[in-house]
Amino acid sequence: MIIPRLLSSCIVAAAALVLGASFLHAADAPPAGFTSLWNGKDLSDWFGWSTSDPRQLAAMTPEQRAEYNKESVEGGPAIKGDQQINKHWHVEGDEIVNDGKGLYLSTTKDYGDIELLVDYKMQPLGDSGIYLRGVPQVQIWDYTKEGGKWNLGADKGSGGLWNNDKGSPGKDPLVLADKPFGEWNHFRIIMVGSRVTVWLNDKLVVDHAILENYFDKKKPLDQRLPILPRGPIQLQTHGSEIRWRNLFVREIGSDEACKILASHGQEGFQSIFNGKDLDGWTANNGKGPMDMVKVEDGAMVWQEKKGGTPYWNTELKDFAARVDFKLPPGGNNGLAIRYPGTGNTAYDGMCECQVLDDNYEVNKEKIVGKPQPIDPRQAHGSAYGMVAAARGYQHPIGDWNFEEVTVKGSTIKVELNGTVILDTDLSKVDMDNVMAHSKHPGKDRTSGFFGFAGHNDPVQFKNVFIKQF
């Protein structure tokens, strides 16, 4: 069947995140489920950071970061000039005020998937924004001609992901939604993985677009990494005075994140697993057996000490697959891509797209009692043995993950929990340098089956969908 436009009441519950249609007022208490980013008295929960790579913060020891945070507020060797927070930021009643200069006010806590509510009021010539996980930015600026930045897109208004590449989704806001100067504006921002949705004054201005990694933009495409899975929220300011109030955040859990991601881009996807039995699935060129998996509570559950590659019995050329998966500690499985129906999909198929505990080395060593090193090209999401995926984007062990894999021609893209962790062209792989110098006779296959490549661990799969191109 074709997946419906809305995925039942659970999606409605995830999408109907309160407050989207009403403005908050001065000194409001946090809405249900939210906490305040500000203690309402001073700036002790914040530090100062500039447009600098948040990976530098992540690399600091706790002691180094505490010392830097202190200097960024009070001044010190780490801060050039008078950029420190206490020179340019102050509190007036229920408002945080910046004079348009200095370091950006940044949360001492790092955040991952969130819903964020922010009110702001700016002055003419202002150019500001909100950095998410330390990455620029949800844009705020003077949208009038007098502001002098129409050539940069200011005429389109605020709310866009302005530092995305030209022409990228989300760079320009969908509508002009700014209030006149002197009035308060209200942002509602949902971030799941690298995907960001923005409402400005109750108008949708960015719809589920990827926030690109500004700090890797100068690197070749195949060397760019996604934004970090966690990082600070920053209030970026320059140009003129800006005021902030009602800064509230709600952290989004794994199940809700999966539902939000599944609710977007559903058109054309067909369910290939009914959650009740293995109708439409087979193994070993249709000869079976199928005892490596059982259906339990709506999921395919891999049976311990069982191998094999069950697959959907429809040959595919170009396609996208969506699947939810859950891993045990040290869990190992894979997605069979253009599998021929027999043999080892990692070599005889186009590739095996690895499904592996992101903390495999640590967790597996606890289980077997000795080190379990892996090649980077064995990490989750990798085109097994050929191209490594970015690590660190799985939900905690025992939680469900949402993954979408797109296969077109010789290319394969893997998006895990809203973040693209692999985007590669297998036709360009240097076969002299693949893992173990193994041969991959199926790498250039143009069609085959989609399935799962099990390795004895009780990995679970559900909500399996295919879209053919």
Segment 343-354, tens digit of pLDDT:
999 999 999 999
CB under 8 Å to 348, separation ≥6 — which residues? 339, 340, 342, 441, 442
**Based on the domain organization, do 289 and 234 belong to the same domain?**
no
Q: Is the pLDDT of residue 5 over 90?
A: no
Residue 4 lies in a domain: no
**Based on the domain organization, do 254 and 287 belong to the same domain?**
no
**Based on the domain organization, do 254 and 293 belong to the same domain?**
no
Q: Which of the listed residues 259, 285, 304 is the one where a domain comes to its end?
A: 259
Distance CA 131, CA 4 (A): 34
Residue 48 lies in a domain: yes
Instruction: Dump pLDDT digits (tens) for 233-285.
Output: 999 998 899 999 999 999 999 999 999 999 999 999 999 999 999 999 999 99
Residue 424 lies in a domain: yes
Q: Is the pLDDT of residue 340 over 80?
A: yes
**Based on the domain organization, do 22 and 153 belong to the same domain?**
yes
**Based on the domain organization, do 277 and 335 belong to the same domain?**
yes
pLDDT band at residue 451, thresholds of 50, 70 and 90? very high
Distance CA 340, CA 343 (A): 8
Q: What does the pLDDT average to over 349-368?
A: 97
CA 265 to mean position of chain CA atoms: 15
pTM: 0.93
Q: Total structural domains in the chain?
A: 2
Residue 347 lies in a domain: yes
* Count of other CB atoms within 10 angstroms of residue 280: 13
**Based on the domain organization, do 54 and 199 belong to the same domain?**
yes
**Based on the domain organization, do 295 and 255 belong to the same domain?**
no
**Based on the domain organization, do 207 and 87 belong to the same domain?**
yes
Residue 325 lies in a domain: yes
Q: What is the DSSP letter of 4?
A: P
Q: Is the pLDDT of residue 1 over 90?
A: no
Distance CA 294, CA 197 (A): 38
Distance CA 300, CA 454 (A): 11
Residue 9 lies in a domain: no
**CATH code: domain of residue 92:** 2.60.120.560
Which structural domain, as residue segments, surrounds residue 241? Answer: 15-259
Closest CA to 91 of 111, 105, 76, 75: 105
Residue 7 lies in a domain: no
Q: Is the pLDDT of residue 48 over 80?
A: yes
Decide: residue 437, CB within 10 A, 0-12 exposed, 13-18 middle, 19+ buried.
exposed
Q: Is the pLDDT of residue 313 over 60?
A: yes
Q: Give strand ranges (E) for 162-238.
A: 185-192, 195-200, 203-210, 234-238
Q: Bridge-partner residues for 224, per DSSP?
A: none
**Based on the domain organization, do 378 and 460 belong to the same domain?**
yes
Per-position DSSP letters for 16-66, written without gaps between them: --TTTTS---TTPPPPTT-EESS-SS-STTEEEE-S--HHHHHTS-HHHHH
Dihedral Cα 261, 359, 454, 275, nearest 10 deg: -30
**Based on the domain organization, do 153 and 120 belong to the same domain?**
yes
Residue 92 lies in a domain: yes
**Based on the domain organization, do 176 and 71 belong to the same domain?**
yes
**Based on the domain organization, do 155 and 21 belong to the same domain?**
yes
Distance CA 214, CA 191 (A): 17
**Helices and strands (DSSP H and E) totals, the chain:** 7, 28
Q: Which of the listed residues 259, 280, 299 is the one where a domain comes to its end?
A: 259
Instruction: Dump pLDDT digits (tens) for 114-141.
Output: 999 999 999 999 999 999 999 999 999 9
Distance CA 345, CA 337 (A): 7
Decide: residue 291, CB within 10 A, 0-12 exposed, 13-18 middle, 19+ buried.
exposed
Q: Is the pLDDT of residue 220 over 90?
A: no
Q: Which of the listed residues 259, 294, 314 is the one where a domain comes to its end?
A: 259
Closest CA to 345 of 428, 217, 442: 442
CA 215 to mean position of chain CA atoms: 16
